[in-house]
Homo-oligomer: A and B are copies of this chain.
Amino acid sequence: MSSIETSPLTRKLRAFVAFSGPELAVLDRLHRRKRAFVPGRDLVQQGQSEQAAYILAEGWVCSYKVQPDGTRQIVDFQIPGDFLGLRSILLHTSDHSVEPIVSIQAAEVLIEDLLEAFSDTPRLAMAILWMASRDEAMVVEHLVGIGRRDAEQRMAHFLLELGARLTLVGMGSRAGYDCPLTQYHLADALGLSAVHVNRVLRKLREDGLVTFRDGRVTFLDHDRLVGLAQFDPAYLEHTGPLLK
């Protein structure tokens, strides 16, 4: 039980539900089919049916959509504790693809596994619904932010949101976090060119707000960055369990 106690998914769901021992055992069982993946091959493929979902245990992945004109748009990045491709087992065909950014460890989850877990503990069903709602809140926040934030604010908001998500699973702090994303990932996710990403990061560094180099994001002035981004983390919901 010691590993499930400290798994990223457990840490994350505990922000919503205070799990009992038997509930943790159910959560542990969801992790039984462990898989390893390397960059360059999609875990989940857009347009395909009968896909599996995964609980990401280690590493980073990106979710993207390919447009009718062939261009690729990154929708979001997933970090340890996140579900990958939950929509791809609930919808007949997956509406997006999922690709590892680094070598990853993930547990495969089928719809039958979820049904079994839900019948053992309805509070887990509620926790997973919470997680899906939090993911939706993030997409809504991005959608609403697009028209409103300039490039600097968008970058600041993005780096702060990632920081808050990583902090919840014990992989970040107000000081910063390790981050394997390239400037191409940032460009694609934020709708900027790579050159523009470079310029924006330089500006944020020169203003003494944040640096991103050698795979590490370092917050130089967290409060001022929050002010610039108008970042309100309420939608990320880290205020302690609603279900005791």
Task: Spell out A's residues near B (CB within 8 Å).
Answer: 16, 47, 65, 67-69, 71, 73, 75, 86-87, 90-93, 95-96, 111, 114-115, 118-119, 122-123, 125-126, 128-130, 132-137, 139-144, 146-148, 191, 230, 232, 234-235, 237, 239, 242-243
Contacts and interface: CB of A to CB of B under 8 A. Distances in A.
A140 B75 contact: yes
A96 B138 CA distance: 12
Contacts of A67: 144, 148
B147 A191 contact: yes
A139 B133 contact: no
Q: Which 10 pairs, one residue from A and one from B, show the smallest C-beta to C-beta distance?
A: A125-B125, A118-B122, A119-B122, A136-B136, A95-B235, A90-B130, A87-B133, A139-B139, A132-B132, A90-B133
28 contacts: A16-B90, A47-B234, A67-B148, A68-B232, A73-B144, A73-B148, A75-B143, A86-B129, A86-B133, A90-B130, A90-B133, A91-B130, A91-B133, A91-B134, A91-B137, A91-B235, A92-B234, A92-B239, A95-B137, A95-B140, A95-B141, A95-B234, A111-B242, A119-B122, A128-B129, A135-B136, A136-B136, A139-B143
A242 B90 contact: yes
B237 A91 contact: yes
Given A91-B133, A122-B122, 6 more contacts: A90-B126, A92-B237, A115-B243, A125-B126, A143-B146, A146-B147
Nearest to A232: B68
A126 B114 contact: yes
Contact of A68 (B142, B230, B234): B230
A73 B146 CA distance: 11
B143 A96 contact: no
Contact of A96 (B111, B130, B140): B140
Contacts of A148: 67, 69, 71, 73
Contacts of A130: 90-91
A93 B234 contact: yes
A111 to B, nearest CB: 7
Contacts of A115: 122-123, 126, 243
B141 A142 contact: no
A132 B191 CA distance: 26
Contacts of A68: 230, 232
Contacts of A75: 140, 143-144
